[in-house]
Amino acid sequence: MNSTLARLVVKRLGSGALTLLIVSLVVFTITALLPGDAAQALLGQEATPETVAALRAQFGLDQPAYFRYFQWLGGLLIGDPGTSLANGMAVADLIGGRLPNTLKLAAIAALVAVPLALTIGILSAMFRGSLFDRTMNTAAVAAVSVPEFLIASLAVLLFAVHLQWLPALSHVSEINSFSDFLRAYTMPVLTLCCGLVAQMARMTRAAVIDQLSSPYVEMAMLKGARPIRVVLTHALPNAVGPIANAVALSLSYLLGGVIIVESIFHYPGIATLMLDAVATRDMPLVQACAMLFCLGYMMLVLVADVSAIVSNPRLRK
Amino acid sequence: MTSSITPAAPEGGRPIAPSMNVQPPKQRRRPRMLSITGLIGLAIVGFWLVMAVAGPSVAPHPANALVSDDSFGPMSSAFPLGSDYLGRDILSRILHGAPYTIGVALAGTVCACLLGTVLGLTGAAAGTGGKAGHWVDEVLSRAMDALISIPNKLFALIMVASFGSSVPLLILTAALAYMPGSYRIVRSLAVNVMTLDFIQAARARGEGMAYIIFIEVLPNMFRPALTDFGMRFVYVVLLLAAMSFLGLGVQPPDADWGSLVRENILALGEGAPAVLAPAVAIATLTIGVTLLIDSLGGRGKREKDGV
Amino acid sequence: MNQIVKVSGLRVAARNAQGDDVTIVHGADFALEKGEVLALIGESGSGKTTIALSLLGYARKGCHIVGGSVQIGDVDVLKLSPEALARLRGRTVSYIAQSAAAAFNPSKTIMDQVIESALIHKTMSRREAEAKAVGLFRELALPDPEGIGSRYPHQVSGGQLQRLMAAMALITDPALVVLDEPTTALDVTTQIEVLLAFKKVVRERGTTAVYVSHDLAVVAQMADRIVVLQNGQIQEVGRTEQILSAPTHPYTRSLLAAMDPAARTASAGRTAQERDDVILSVRDLEVRFGNGKAGGGKVVLQDINLDIRRGATVGVIGESGSGKTTLARAIAGMVAPSAGQVLLDGKALSPTLEGRTRDEFRRVQYVFQNADTALNPQHTIEAILSRPLKFYHGMSGERRKKRVAELLELVRLPTSIAKRRPGELSGGQKQRINLARALAAEPELLLCDEVTSALDTVVGAAILELMAELRRELNVSYMFISHDLGTVRSICDEIVVLYAGRKVEVRQREAQNAPPFHPYSHLLGTSIPLLRPGWLEEVTGHTAVALPSLAAGLGSQPGLCPFIDRCPQRVDGLCNTTPPPLRQLDGGGSILCHRSEEELVRAQGALKLVTGEAA
């Protein structure tokens, strides 16, 4: 890696860190500063000023806002985002118990979706305008413009109600065999993949088509290269950056999808944890989950940008 | 002399000779015909827009009237889309929900796009100005980058967690969540137009920034901006539906289509129309808008940027 | 001699915006003998590239070949299956594209791309192909023939890429090579090197070639025979000498007339010379890009001084990157100079747009090079012309309408055009509107930035004609920026030569053909192809001389002569150590050079300006 490249990557990492800092400020402002007095809200209107004051002191709410922000931020950095208001457990423990499940779900979805989407995207670009391309395009438009819960509902209707192959809920705690695994994960992964594959395939197709319309592709055809060779050896190497970008950006779609999917299938992950926290207004847990999601998103975008920088042939020496 | 379309010459150099010698002369503009899919999209969108206003008054029953003895009843002539878990008419509930689903989403999208456009144009205009302008542009873009890094559903969750759910809050949430994307698109469209020679010509003529933005730039970005508005509307509809589906959107006794899916989710086991009908209603709306936009063109850029 | 290519009745159609098929090549017939170079010449839209591509059985997106035959050897290319076509392309017929910078894949090494067709068609092993490529690099006079193949396209210059593309086309020893405007994107001084290299390999290898160009003078150097095309129809076919000296078709004659700068000289008024009142002066102008602070950034213009008299035309010439457009933009206030000033009627103008008055804006108008982008596509012609009338003169209603009609008449366009939008006009019409908009301000000085370079020769010639007439009618001054010395010479009273942001020469029209020249101006003047076969061989002597060696490093230090890297007249110990003086010439004008007038005259012959006996 040469110095220009290294400088660009470091610069990008730096701006990522700055963005994350601003995000933390926004999250903290919305969740902790704007809503008003959490102690008052928790105790209700009838509480005496003394008990409210006591609770405020216990939460540290009598401290100035910037102090609370830095305290919270410091806690996040050392892995201690506080204790849950709902059950008094450490937020870190609550998250620690659920995070592996969400990561597993996301990883399986990504493993299924990425190869599938790249194949569909590249094939549609190669056979642009063909029946395959048009079918895939229509399916993709439908998949991204339909709510996830409709896809999930249809999946349940088909596999659980009509065919009775799979249970309507995902029982991850009872996985003893591969068939249990399939029974638990097929529908959540299927639901997640629909939108994900559609998004990624469209972006991949656009990236490859962009390259296929360039003069050097025409030149390769005029050198006698067959279409397969043109796509594989000429267009794809230049499309790697845009495609990596497409993959990473689409994967961030997972974050939104996971919230719905976990909720529908009662999957014990971070998203269901956060939904419960939102329902009970358990702010420390909400904040921690929010930052975790933002971190995941930022990392994906970062990967996208860095891969675009690294794959730019003009930066090679 | 027939029309010869000659492409832009590189700065100060010879023209890169036309890559397409064969380009036919550009024709006088014709009223552009929508494709068949575009017309279908237009019909669907038109229908739902009318329903957003007239839905509650044409509904056969009041939204919360218990009119059927049957819970999760099947489709019938009396109840074309069946009945819900309490025996209410689903068709009526969908029609009563239309103003919520469409109205709230439309309000949110309009706010998001208005804000995004104003800030985006400000950023683009400031960016061409002096040092202070660059600074304004930089701060705006940086802040928007941060906001866009919060996934939309997550943003909605923390808003609801902090302030509780209500219609004004949902509109505000949608506006804030989708404004940074609109800002980015508008700014990049405007910046692209501003590099064109006719803007330079206007600047060299001594025109002020207001004239340049409103008379020279805006007409050239109307179509892509409209496309963006449509896409953003689809996203907002999906976001609000998801929030209602999670029980964090429009609160009972009012109900939008997402809430209808949520309250009838138990019907899934029976395969009753009560749960599918509102979900399909959402799908027709979003697909209709998408079809309309696609036939207008101008999605290419979005796909590349993946915004 | 045997015919190896025979095209008969070739017809190509293209789909227009309405989805209808329009024939763009109407039954072309021509043939090539082995070892012959045939030129296809025409303006944009003439179908020359389309015909050339059909020799490879290829039609661009939106076009398709609808009839006729293309015989190469015994096969009809148009009847081949896709597989057979792939076997033909790059093997029997190869192609050299017009922009090598775009036609090379940015993510593969040059060598991989040069030998690709040999590997696809399995004509030789990779080792043999690489050895042959290095041989070709050497024949094409490329620097570092052994090592250049391992570089990436963005690491070599445009002129080198174009020659590398020739190696790519010749690697399989094809029966026919198609060259599609291969030098159009290059500066003239680079073009001549590339042409020399092409000519040498074509001659030595006895290559049969089709050379597509819009430039008759280039074609005169390269081709044995010429096919003249207009609107997809062959107008005339003949031997090069015959086409140049005794054209039979009126269209060919009009092309030749447009190439001849003498024709316009006669019509250009020259009354301005006598009066000596200066309308605009540039004093010690310096522009830096990038870091705006003193001493930082890249110097784009340096030490620029010039005066423009009322009614005079000053030409500014230089190759791409010389800073000529920046100069015009700095005068217009669009680029803030880092030092120096611009005086209008002796009064200093604000360096930026912000500080200028509306009347100052009105008096200096900028005409952009590309009318396609300089006119807002959403506005009607009437709106475009009305705006300056309202903005500068407060005109409205009927008065403004009448004035718009007058302006259209002034630029020789029908008034019915006012209701249209720019997208509905031709390139030449748009450029006239562009000019009319500037004239609407009733300016005293027009800054014309490459106003003809995006146009076809004939259309461009008509615009120059118009500008000359307008100058007489309206007594405006022009600053005329161009990369084309021929154009500048034909219209300007004074010529300023820029090189790498420095003014290396100023020359009066009277003295324009006589030495001494600055060595760069001389190179420029001798690099413009003349309409005479054999010219290329004659000038070889001027350009191919080895540069005198220098002991110290080359001219990157500030103040030294910018041309030192390429100068055949440079002096070791002087040019590389001391900034050159600005020599005032006896005949008016000045030269930035260490060499004395006598030394320069001795080294330089008189420039042959007009097209020679062929015209």
Q: What is the DSSP string of C134-196?
A: HHHHHHTT-SSTTTGGGS-GGGS-HHHHHHHHHHHHHTT--SEEEEESTTTTS-HHHHHHHHH
Per DSSP, helices labelled H in C394-511 are 397-410, 427-440, 457-474, 485-491
pLDDT of residue A46: 72
Cα gap C24→C2, rounded to integer Å: 30
Chain A neighbours, 3+ Cβ pairs < 8 A? B, C
- Contact between residue C106 and residue A313 where contact means Cβ atoms under 8 Å apart: yes
| C24 part of contact set with chain B, CB < 8 Å | yes
Q: Tokens for B63?
A: 């939204």
Pairing mode, if any, of strands C477-482 and C445-449? parallel
- C-alpha distances out from residue B243 to A156, B95, B155, B166, C58, Å: 20, 19, 11, 12, 55
Q: Do A275 and B246 count as a contact with CB atoms less than 8 A apart?
A: yes
Contacts of C150 in chain A (CB under 8 A): none
pLDDT tens per residue across span C249-305: 999 988 888 776 554 443 344 444 445 688 999 999 999 887 545 556 788 898 999
Averaged pLDDT score across all residues of chain B: 79
Cα gap C169→C175, rounded to integer Å: 11
pLDDT of residue A41: 66
Q: Do B162 and A283 count as a contact with CB atoms less than 8 A apart?
A: yes
Structural domain of B224:
54-296
Q: Do A226 and C86 count as a contact with CB atoms less than 8 A apart?
A: yes
| pLDDT of B184 higher than 60 | yes
Give every CB contact of residue C22 below 8 A, 6+ residues apart in sequence: B24, C13, C14, C15, C16
Can you say whether residue C260 is alpha, beta or left, with left for phi > 0 and alpha for psi between -120 and 50 degrees? beta
Tell me if residue B150 falls in helix, strand or coil. Answer: coil
Ranges B165-174, B252-261, C143-152: which has the least confidence: B252-261
Q: Is residue B88 part of a domain?
A: yes
What is residue C529's DSSP assignment?
Answer: P
Q: How far does B21 lie from chain C, in Å, by closest CA?
A: 5
Q: Name residue, tokens 């006719």.
A: B198
Give every CB contact of residue C237 below 8 A, 6+ residues apart in sequence: C30, C225, C226, C227, C228
Contacts of C24 in chain B (CB under 8 A): 22, 24
Interface pTM (ipTM) of the complex? Answer: 0.85
Domain parsing of chain A, residue ranges: 91-316
| pLDDT of A118 higher than 60 | yes
For residue B205, the domain's CATH number is 1.10.3720.10
| pLDDT of B22 higher than 80 | no
Strand partners, A90: A83
Look up residue C5 and give its amino acid.
V
Q: Do A149 and B245 count as a contact with CB atoms less than 8 A apart?
A: yes
Nearest to B242 among A15, A147, A162 (CB): A147
Q: Tokens for C338?
A: 């880092």
Q: Tokens for B266?
A: 């138990």
Q: Is residue B6 part of a domain?
A: no
Q: Tokens for B164?
A: 């509780």
Contacts of B306 in chain A (CB under 8 A): 203, 245-246, 249-250
Q: Do B271 and A146 count as a contact with CB atoms less than 8 A apart?
A: no
Strand order in the sheet with C21-33: C21-33, C3-15, C63-72, C75-76
Cα gap C294→C338, rounded to integer Å: 7
Strand partners, C227: C40, C237
Give every CB contact of residue C357 below 8 A, 6+ residues apart in sequence: none
The CATH number of C274-511 is 3.40.50.300
Strand partners, C446: C365, C478
| C412 part of contact set with chain B, CB < 8 Å | no
| A99 part of contact set with chain C, CB < 8 Å | no
Average pLDDT estimate for A261-283: 87
Q: Is residue B45 part of a domain?
A: no
Cα gap C231→C132, rounded to integer Å: 41
Per DSSP, helices labelled H in C475-545 are 485-491, 519-527, 535-543
Cα gap C190→A176, rounded to integer Å: 74
| B208 part of contact set with chain A, CB < 8 Å | no
| Start-to-end C-alpha separation, chain C | 31
Average pLDDT estimate for B129-142: 81
Strand partners, C176: C93
- C-alpha distances out from residue B72 to B84, B129, B259, C402, Å: 5, 63, 16, 75
- C-alpha distances out from residue B168 to A288, B30, B107, C291, C495, Å: 26, 43, 10, 48, 69
pLDDT tens per residue across span A165-201: 777 776 666 677 777 777 778 888 988 898 889 989 9
Q: Is residue B200 part of a domain?
A: yes
Look up residue B100 and give its amino acid.
Y
* Cβ neighbour number for residue C201 with a 10 Å cutoff: 19
Q: How far does C108 lie from chain A, in Å, by closest CA?
A: 8
| A161 part of contact set with chain B, CB < 8 Å | yes
Interface of A with B in 61-120 (CB under 8 A): none
Q: How far does A19 lie from chain B, in Å, by closest CA?
A: 5
pLDDT of residue C614: 32
Contacts of A233 in chain C (CB under 8 A): 108
Taking CA B182 as the corner, what is the angle to CA B177 and CA B187, rounded to the nearest 5 degrees? 140
Nearest to A216 among C89, C90, C102 (CB): C102
Give every CB contact of residue C307 below 8 A, 6+ residues apart in sequence: C278, C280, C281, C282
- Contact between residue C471 and residue C504 where contact means Cβ atoms under 8 Å apart: no
Average pLDDT estimate for A80-85: 80
Q: Do A168 and B248 count as a contact with CB atoms less than 8 A apart?
A: no
Give every CB contact of residue C553 below 8 A, 6+ residues apart in sequence: C576
Mutation target among C21, C44, C528 for the B interface, most CBs of B within 10 A? C44
H/E stretch holding B263 reads helix B257-263
Interface of C with A in 164-203 (CB under 8 A): 168
Q: How far does A236 lie from chain C, in Å, by closest CA?
A: 10
- Would the CA dihedral through A211, A214, A216, A222 be positive or negative? positive
- Contact between residue C348 and residue C384 where contact means Cβ atoms under 8 Å apart: no
- Contact between residue C195 and residue C162 where contact means Cβ atoms under 8 Å apart: no
What is residue A166's DSSP assignment?
Answer: S
Is the peptide bond prior to C516 cis by the omega test (within 30 degrees of 0)?
yes
Q: Do B22 and C185 count as a contact with CB atoms less than 8 A apart?
A: no
Q: Do C391 and B207 count as a contact with CB atoms less than 8 A apart?
A: yes
What is residue C271's DSSP assignment?
Answer: G
Cα gap C122→C71, rounded to integer Å: 24
Strand partners, C216: none
Is the peptide bond prior to A227 cis by the omega test (within 30 degrees of 0)?
no
* Cβ neighbour number for residue A162 with a 10 Å cutoff: 10
Backbone angles phi, psi at C45, to 5 degrees: 90, 0
SS3 per residue for B107-130? HHHHHHHHHHHHHHHHHHHHHHCC
Ranges B68-77, B258-267, C290-299, C344-353: which has the least confidence: C290-299
Contacts of A225 in chain C (CB under 8 A): 86, 90, 116, 120
| A219 part of contact set with chain B, CB < 8 Å | no
Q: Which CATH class is domain C34-46+82-259?
A: alpha beta
Q: Is residue B281 part of a domain?
A: yes
| pLDDT of B31 higher than 50 | no
Q: Which fold has domain A91-316?
A: MetI-like fold (1.10.3720)
* C-alpha closest to that of B300 among B226, B224, B233: B224
Q: Do A157 and B276 count as a contact with CB atoms less than 8 A apart?
A: yes
pLDDT of residue A84: 80
Q: Do B9 and C181 count as a contact with CB atoms less than 8 A apart?
A: no
What is residue B70's DSSP assignment?
Answer: S
pLDDT of residue C115: 93
Contacts of A207 in chain C (CB under 8 A): none
Low-confidence ranges of chain C (pLDDT < 50): 263-274, 292, 543-544, 555, 609-615
Chain C neighbours, 3+ Cβ pairs < 8 A? A, B
Interface of C with B in 467-496 (CB under 8 A): 481, 483
| A19 part of contact set with chain B, CB < 8 Å | yes
Contacts of B247 in chain A (CB under 8 A): 279
pLDDT of residue B88: 81
Q: Exposed, middle or buried by CB within 10 Å (0-12, 13-18, 19+), for A99?
A: middle
Q: Do A220 and C116 count as a contact with CB atoms less than 8 A apart?
A: yes
Banded pLDDT at A120 (limits 50, 70, 90): very high
Q: Do A238 and C105 count as a contact with CB atoms less than 8 A apart?
A: yes
pLDDT of residue B13: 32
Nearest to A216 among C56, C91, C105 (CB): C105
Ranges B57-61, B267-271, B300-304, C312-316: which has the least confidence: B300-304
Interface of B with A in 226-285 (CB under 8 A): 234, 238, 241-242, 245-248, 258, 261, 265, 268-271, 275-276, 279-280, 282-283
Mutation target among B240, B246, B302 for the A interface, most CBs of A within 10 A? B246
Nearest to C426 among B2, B7, B220 (CB): B2
Domain parsing of chain C, residue ranges: 34-46+82-259, 274-511, 519-605
Q: How far does C367 lie from chain B, in Å, by closest CA?
A: 8
| C105 part of contact set with chain A, CB < 8 Å | yes
Q: How far does A164 lie from chain C, in Å, by closest CA?
A: 50
Pairing mode, if any, of strands C494-499 and C313-317? parallel
pLDDT of residue B303: 40
Q: Do A224 and C102 count as a contact with CB atoms less than 8 A apart?
A: no
pLDDT of residue B9: 32
